[in-house]
Amino acid sequence: MDNINFIKMHGLGNDFVILDSRLGSITLQPKEISLIADRHIGVGCDQIVIMLPSQDDLADIFIKIFNSDGSETFACGNATRCVASLLMKELKKDHVTVETMSGLLDAELNSGTSVALNIGKASFNWKDIPLSESLDTANINIPKMKFRDGFAVNLGNPHIVFFENDVEKLDLKKDAPAIENHKFFPERVNVNFAQIITKNKIRLRVWERGAGETLACGTGACATVAASFKKGLTDSNVQVLLDGGSLDVQFLNDGHLVMIGDVSRVFDGTIDKAIFKSEN
């Protein structure tokens, strides 16, 4: 195969290059993934998503997700919502089930371009995050860091949430990498900085492991609402204001979290595989 067809989509500016490997096998090395994700010499994106046939009779599709640095991640809410939108149009359905490395996720068409995704249950167990040692996941203090009382959550991928008075003043490029790569987090961690506006509204900035600061992060928004609700800072239904737009997050009575927001198909294109050779 000389070319790879792709679809460029985003959920609130959190953008993806989506590859369809259901009919023909697409295998990419980490360096090739990074090249595609590069915004200067590639297509440019936060994550690359590969669609595959599902081996589970309950699912309509299986997806693998890779960060812009070539590393694999087991969950991405906005990427899953984008794929679900494609699939619902393809299958002429208003509900689909997407299989991910972290489990089966149910998505449904909310209205227009808005897609709702049940991301599953949050885990607050230190072994599930995972942490390198037993710590109180509701009060994590990293030595020599100015951010205090971090709240760790796993939603298919690891998150830590810090509640701050003014997130606009923060320099994420300066502060977040040291947290992402701290020894407490053997698989690294997504870093979320949240500011409580009201009981039903949060301002959030996100630093994704393997991708850096992004305009939005669906699992980050859900992790933040789970943490804020557990701490008594918000109600269970919260509007999360991200750099790329807003997500509505619901923390259900059964412990599941649902995110609702718009997705957009930006353009379709073709990648010439010759670029991989030229960059080697």
Residues 6 or more apart from 280 whose CB is under 8 A from it?
A: 31
For the record, the structure tokens of 211 come out as 């991708």
Phi then psi dihedrals of residue 180, to 5 deg:
-50, -40
Question: Contact, 61 vs 53, CB < 8 A?
Answer: yes
Point out which residues pair with 202 in neighbouring strands. 196, 240
Residue 263 · residue 13 · CB < 8 Å: no
What are the DSSP E strand ranges found in the chain?
A: 3-11, 14-20, 47-52, 61-67, 72-73, 95-100, 103-111, 114-121, 151-154, 158-163, 190-198, 201-208, 212-214, 237-242, 245-251, 256-262, 264-272
If you count DSSP H runs as helices and E runs as strands, how many of each does the chain have, helices first?
5, 17
Known catalytic residues are: 76, 217
Q: Count the neighbouring beta carbons within 10 Å of the beta carbon of residue 52.
A: 16
